[in-house]
Amino acid sequence: MSSAKPSLPRVLTGITTTGSPHLGNYAGAIRPAIAASRSGNADSFYFLADLHGLIKCPDPARIQRSTLEIAACWLAAGLDPERVTFYRQSDIPEIPQLCWYLTCVTSKGLLNRAHAYKAANDRNREAGLDLDADVTAGLYMYPVLMAADILAFSANRVPVGLDQVQHLEIARDVAQRFNHLYGEVLTLPQVQIDEQVGTLPGLDGRKMSKSYDNTIPLFTERRQLQRLIMSIVTDSRQPGEPKDTDGSALFQLYQAFATPQETAAFAQAFADGIGWGDAKQQLFEMLDRMLSPMRERYEALMADPAGIEKVLEAGAEKARAVCVPLVKAVREAVGIRSLVGAQAGGAQAASGAATGARGARPVLKQYREKDGLFYFKLQVGDAEPLLQSLGFADPKACGACIGSLKADPQGWAAQQAYLQPVPADRQPAVVAALQQLAEG
């Protein structure tokens, strides 16, 4: 029932669509993501998370404008829509549809522990308000929508910052729960954290962040770029006095974008006592050389919204070719199906597992429980499991036991040490179901 898996690892990256990108965003997320997309080592998916943007931004004009700016930014920075799948989240109706199916298997307790929801509760508690004051269902359900973003495309790896790791863990938990109930339909994603990506300092030396109002916008015009760089906070050492590179926001910004040779020369200039004004001018000239070609592309893209719209529409078509079969498999798994054959299915369910060979096929499902152990069960349709294993610490051992059962249905009793007791009246049905599995 599961969808076809990609031949290359599938890597999925969500792009926030609120606010304008700055140098810190470029160094920490955009540049490494685009470099990875050119490697040819992955099937790369990049999406504009405009549905998520609605949680934080109630301004329709800003949502639209930010989506345009962010799309133009990534394209100007070198993202090639011919090499990757680049789409807008809201253009994929299967994502909110899958979100509902996942919602139906997601425990409230899991969402109660989500960081964003807990942080909102904490703020309200400190303010003496009701814990859920101003907490929308969108904020509460954010982790499930994120899970749908990932699971809809059978993503193998999802690059995230440390603050997003919990959301990936929730996505895995939800997928495991779904697979436990309905069979192995969903691919469990792996978290990918780039330890090499650092945090750029802003104009005041703190982390570059809009919340600190200390950013350098990525595509600000040339004169404004120079003005901002000249405002970077430095110490009081005069020209001729050696200067430390450690802890210098100016040096860190230069190092993030310069070549190793340029960085070594800049470090030597610090040791030789370069004046702060000259150092800032060198930083400006290096950044302007790097940004000018991208700035020109960005301005051309912003002047052609229809062109960006076409790119996103083409990306949505590629994306839906992947996720439509997956969501169809999910619908089938949960029972949202054509009514043709429903009567036969009902009769089989009523007659129990013994008639499984004439209706639903038997399945051996391997899964992991909250105790950390691996289990499997033999089941036909919605009937009570014919076989239920004990827990395995090693998933390979669990899989080997499943393989033995399939290979030798008549000898299933040899595996009883790994199974819960099977009543005598159920044993013929066990053999029949295993035989059907062995015959394919």
pLDDT at position 36: 87
Residue 85 marked ligand-binding: no
Residue 39 marked ligand-binding: no
Domains of the chain (ranges, CATH numbers): 10-198+305-330 (3.40.50.620), 219-301 (1.10.240.10), 362-439 (3.30.160.160)
Residue 52 has pLDDT above 90, yes or no: yes
Residue 48 has pLDDT above 60, yes or no: yes
Between 290 and 192, the more confident residue is 290
Backbone angle region of 186, left / alpha / beta, with phi > 0 → left and psi within -120 to 50 → alpha: beta
Residue 200 marked ligand-binding: yes
State which amino acid sits at residue 437. Answer: L
The mean per-residue pLDDT over the stretch 300-318 comes to 97
**Is 278 exposed, middle or buried, given 0-12, 13-18 or 19+ CB atoms closer than 10 A?**
exposed
Least confident of 93-102, 209-218, 406-415: 406-415
Strands 374-380 and 362-368: antiparallel
Alpha-carbon distance 255 to 261, whole Å?
10
On the CB side of 89, CA atoms within 13 Å amount to 27
pLDDT at position 380: 83
Residue 369 has pLDDT above 90, yes or no: no
Q: Is residue 80 within 8 Å of residue 314, measured between CB atoms?
A: no
The mean per-residue pLDDT over the stretch 294-312 comes to 97
Residue 211 marked ligand-binding: yes
Between 344 and 364, the more confident residue is 364
Residue 163 marked ligand-binding: yes
Give the pLDDT band (50/70/90) at residue 7.
low
Residue 75 marked ligand-binding: no
Residue 24 marked ligand-binding: yes
Residue 156 marked ligand-binding: no
pLDDT at position 96: 97
The mean per-residue pLDDT over the stretch 160-187 comes to 87
Read off the pLDDT of residues 217-276 as tens digits, 9 standing for 90 and up.
999 999 999 999 999 999 999 999 999 999 899 999 999 999 999 999 999 999 999 999
State which amino acid sits at residue 289. Answer: R
pLDDT at position 194: 57
Read off the pLDDT of residues 102-155 as tens digits, 9 standing for 90 and up.
999 999 999 999 999 999 999 999 999 999 999 999 999 999 999 999 999 999
Nearest one of 96, 170, 98 to 325, comparing CA atoms: 98
DSSP one-letter string for 142-195 = HHHHHHHHHHTTT-SEEE--GGGHHHHHHHHHHHHHHHHHH-S-SPPPEEE--T
- Residue 20 CB: number of other CB atoms within 10 A? 16
pLDDT at position 347: 42
Structure tokens belonging to residue 194: 């780039």
Residue 5 marked ligand-binding: no
Residue 179 marked ligand-binding: no
pLDDT at position 266: 95
With DSSP H G I counted as helix, E B as strand and the rest as coil, what are the percentages for the chain, rounded to 5? 55, 10, 35
Residue 383 has pLDDT above 80, yes or no: no
pLDDT at position 105: 95
Beta bridge partners of 15: 48
The mean per-residue pLDDT over the stretch 328-344 comes to 82
Nearest one of 39, 16, 47 to 323, comparing CA atoms: 47
Backbone angle region of 19, left / alpha / beta, with phi > 0 → left and psi within -120 to 50 → alpha: left
pLDDT at position 3: 44
The mean per-residue pLDDT over the stretch 173-190 comes to 91
Nearest one of 5, 36, 21, 3 to 159, comparing CA atoms: 36
Helices (H), 303-390: 305-334, 342-351
Structure tokens belonging to residue 219: 């595509």
Residue 106 marked ligand-binding: no
